[in-house]
Amino acid sequence: MKLYYSPGACSLSPHIALQEAGVPFQAVLTPTKTHKLPDGTDYYTINPLGYVPLLELDDGTRLTEGPAIVQYIADQAPVKKLAPAWGTLPRYQLQSWLTFIGTELHKGFSPLFNPATPEDYKPVVKERLMSRLGWVDQQLAGKQYLMGDDFTVADGYLFTVTNWTAPVGLDISGLANLNAYRARVAARPAVQAAMKAEGLIK
């Protein structure tokens, strides 16, 4: 498998999932500014939308969209319990978390990274994000991870997205449950390995 990624982007989520699953893969650096791969290939010829992540399977099949990719990865190593079994209620609860993170948090950050966003609109965006993150903080009370005691692919996604709070100037220091959770996730060997591979930590 090949994972096309950009350091610190949402592709860190499947990168973490691959490390957690322990399945062999090749990480392909995909600069989102130039869209030129290390070998000179135009990334648009691989993903016409131009964004990451993209997972290319050994048979050449390509999967896009992080929530779908991480579930595929989880199902390659069911013993790791990165996702509950298909058809069970917990699997739909996992999908609920992945959808919430993707639509309410991930996309919520987009205006703050867009240079065209008017400055007077940014406080509105930040207020909405803080409201959502405050709710997540409440949901984490008394829990190790989003789904309970087991780390799942939803945790890798939430960790990735909440890494963006500092760069955009969002102060989450008052969210004690979220901060303790982030420290737990950051300490996982697979998370450390993915972050080191992307040059995010030494």
pLDDT single digits (tens) 28-62: 999 988 999 999 999 999 999 999 999 999 999 99
Say which residue the tokens 């984490």 belong to.
Answer: 140
Range(s) of the domain holding residue 177:
89-187
* Residues 138 and 172 occupy one common structural domain: yes
pLDDT digits (tens, 9 = 90+) for 9-26: 999 999 999 999 999 999
pTM: 0.97
* Residues 19 and 104 occupy one common structural domain: no
Does any domain span residue 129? Answer: yes
Q: Going edge to edge, which strands form the sheet with 62-64?
A: 26-29, 2-5, 54-56, 62-64
Structure tokens at 196: 């080191």
- Overall number of domains in the chain: 2
Does any domain span residue 202? Answer: no
* Residues 171 and 115 occupy one common structural domain: yes
- Residue 28 sits in a domain whose CATH number is 3.40.30.10
Structure tokens at 116: 């065209």
Query: What average pLDDT is seen over the chain?
Result: 97
Q: How much of the chain exceeds pLDDT 90, in percent?
A: 99
* Residues 67 and 94 occupy one common structural domain: no
Dihedral sign (CA 201, 102, 133, 32)? positive
- Which residues pair with residue 39 across a beta bridge? none
* Residues 74 and 93 occupy one common structural domain: no
Q: Average of pLDDT values for 171-193?
A: 98
Does any domain span residue 6? Answer: yes
Does any domain span residue 13? Answer: yes
Q: Using DSSP bridges, classify how beta strands 2-5 and 26-29 pair: parallel, antiparallel or unpaired.
A: parallel
* Residues 116 and 136 occupy one common structural domain: yes
* Residues 95 and 183 occupy one common structural domain: yes
Q: Which of 198, 184, 181 is nearest to 12 (CA)?
A: 198
- Residue 118 sits in a domain whose CATH number is 1.20.1050.10
> What pLDDT score does 123 carry?
96
* Residues 101 and 61 occupy one common structural domain: no
* Residues 54 and 97 occupy one common structural domain: no
C-beta of residue 74 within 8 angstroms of C-beta of residue 21 = yes
| Local confidence band at 170 (pLDDT 50, 70, 90 cut-offs) | very high
How does DSSP assign 46-88, residue by residue? T-TT--S-EEE-TTS-EEESHHHHHHHHHHH-GGG-SSPPTTS
User: Nearest 5°: phi and psi at 200?
Assistant: -85, -25
